[in-house]
């Protein structure tokens, strides 16, 4: 049975379902892509998110949509498609790559085109004053895209500047229940009538599809992932990315596909119970993510590292925290570059902290807790 879902305005050009099928994990085969797109359609999802950087994802999507239209009467016009280009290269390079995306997707026009990873100041400058801006003006003038946006793994100020620059109509941000530091940025974008997609709220949000026993108990009678999704949807976030790889990954999305209402008293109570549990575990050592400790003279991303400490100790998601911590310094501008071992005990952060935390000691503790041999990146 096909589910008819609620849609929200995604910027100025389209309405999308509350969940989006992210396709980075769907590049195994055409059969896999067919299966996931059909499952998404049956779950009420109408938005596909991809990128030229996702291997052969665009080509598989193009072939899959053609096959599903012929075999399942799932028509191409039912879908909103977002693809992305990396912030590099000159106009001719970008034009060639974009035309290749059109060819692979079997489209004459793309609904949404995002700059994939405005993670550094130079990336935003490339859009505002360089070849990137020239390219975006060209695709809009030619009517090849309905609107342009950006994704970012960058710092708070950079994302704020990108939202306020008046170039973009939507943004893809890391928005999570266990990391609420960028919720205010999402609300700023929504106030400006921009679409907002939450990147990986299940996986990078704390691997909530695989919760610890303590987190499961604290969130009862709800699953932690269901609560995390509901938290974001209740904040007005336009759509949540679902990096599905199997049928079961759609279960919670199908349940919540029309759940745009405010949190119920029962949901609020469960969320408060999770926070109470974390506070009990962390006691007076919890980092409140206020960023007052920055800048660090050694350029250590203190809030991010202590966020991983919060998640590992407070919520019991140790394996997730280890995986993320040991990617530091291995992912270029997509992730942090310095881990806690770079702390020089200068103690400049201590008087800045409203919670009076002994930050250097907590950094050392976190490094000892989380440091281990790095694992391979998903896309490496």
DSSP, res 53: T
Secondary structure (DSSP) of 248-290: GGGHHHHHHTT--SPPPHHHHHHHHHHHHHHHHHHGGG-----
Tokens of 334: 């997509």
Distance of alpha carbon 88 from alpha carbon 14, whole angstroms? 27
Q: Is 193 exposed, middle or buried (0-12, 13-18, 19+ CB in 10 A)?
A: exposed
Residues 6+ apart with CB under 8 A from 89: 97, 131
Instruction: Enter the tokens of residue 304.
Output: 């991010």
| pTM, two decimal places | 0.92
Q: Which helix (H) or strand (E) holds 93?
A: helix 91-105
Which pLDDT belongs to residue 5? Answer: 83
CB atoms within 10 A of CB 51: 21
Per-residue pLDDT at 211:
95
Mean residue pLDDT of the chain comes to: 94
Q: What is the pLDDT of residues 213-271, one digit of tens each?
A: 999 999 999 999 999 999 999 999 999 999 988 888 999 999 999 999 999 999 999 99
Give the separation between CA 343 and CA 233, rounded to whole angstroms: 38
Find the Cα–Cα–Cα–Cα dihedral 273, 274, 280, 284, rounded to 10°: -120
More confident residue, 331 or 340: 340
Q: What is the mean pLDDT of residues 367-373?
A: 92
Q: Is the pLDDT of residue 333 over 90?
A: no
In whole angstroms, what is the distance from residue 245 CA to residue 60 CA?
A: 15
Tokens of 285: 């050592």
> How much is the pLDDT for 1?
57
Provide the pLDDT for residue 201. Answer: 95
pLDDT of residue 338: 95
Are 66 and 37 in contact by the 8 Å Cβ rule? The answer is no
**What does the pLDDT read at residue 246?**
86
What pLDDT is attached to residue 380?
A: 40
Is the confidence at residue 379, as pLDDT, over 60?
no
Tell whether the model's pLDDT for residue 148 goes beyond 70.
yes
pLDDT per position as a tens digit, 19-35: 999 999 889 999 999 99
Asked if 139 and 189 touch (Cβ cutoff 8 Å), the reply is no
Residues 58-106: pLDDT tens digits? 999 999 999 999 999 999 999 999 999 999 999 999 999 999 999 999 9
**How does residue 328 score in pLDDT terms, banded at 50, 70 and 90?**
very high
Q: CB 352: neighbour CB atoms within 10 A?
A: 16
pLDDT, average across residues 3-27: 91
């Amino acid at each position: 049975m096909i589910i008819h879902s609620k849609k929200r305005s995604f910027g100025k050009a389209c309405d999308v379902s509350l969940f989006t099928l992210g396709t980075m994990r769907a590049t195994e085969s055409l059969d896999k892509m067919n299966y996931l797109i059909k499952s998404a359609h049956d779950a009420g999802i109408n938005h596909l998110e991809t990128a030229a950087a996702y291997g052969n994802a665009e080509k598989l999507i193009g072939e899959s949509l053609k096959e599903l239209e012929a075999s399942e009467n799932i028509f191409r016009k039912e879908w909103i498609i977002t693809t992305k280009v990396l912030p590099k290269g000159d106009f001719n390079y970008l034009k060639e790559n974009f035309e290749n995306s059109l060819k692979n997707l079997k489209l004459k026009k793309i609904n949404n085109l995002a700059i994939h990873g405005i993670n550094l100041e130079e990336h935003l400058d490339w859009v505002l004053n360089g070849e990137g801006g020239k390219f975006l003006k060209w695709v809009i003038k030619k009517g090849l895209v309905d609107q342009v946006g950006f994704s970012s793994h960058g710092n708070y100020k950079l994302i704020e500047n990108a939202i306020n620059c008046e170039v973009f109509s939507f943004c893809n941000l890391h928005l999570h229940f266990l990391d609420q530091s960028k919720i205010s940025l999402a609300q700023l974008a929504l106030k400006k009538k921009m679409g907002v997609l939450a990147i990986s709220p299940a996986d990078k949000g704390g691997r909530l599809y695989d919760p610890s026993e303590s987190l499961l108990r604290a969130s009862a009678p709800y699953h932690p992932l269901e609560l995390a999704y509901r938290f974001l949807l209740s904040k007005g976030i336009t759509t949540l990315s679902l990096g599905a790889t199997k049928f079961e990954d759609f279960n919670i999305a199908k349940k919540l596909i029309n759940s745009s209402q405010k949190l119920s008293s029962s949901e609020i109570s469960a969320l408060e119970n999770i926070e109470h549990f974390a506070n009990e575990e962390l006691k007076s050592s919890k980092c409140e993510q206020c960023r007052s400790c920055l800048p660090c003279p050694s350029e250590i991303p203190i809030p991010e590292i202590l966020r991983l400490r919060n998640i590992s100790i407070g919520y019991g998601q140790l394996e997730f925290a280890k995986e993320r911590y040991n990617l530091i310094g291995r992912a270029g501008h997509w992730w942090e570059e310095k881990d806690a071992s770079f702390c020089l005990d200068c103690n400049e952060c201590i008087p800045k902290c409203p919670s009076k935390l002994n930050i250097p000691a907590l950094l050392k503790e976190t490094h000892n807790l989380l440091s281990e041999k790095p694992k391979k990146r998903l896309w490496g």
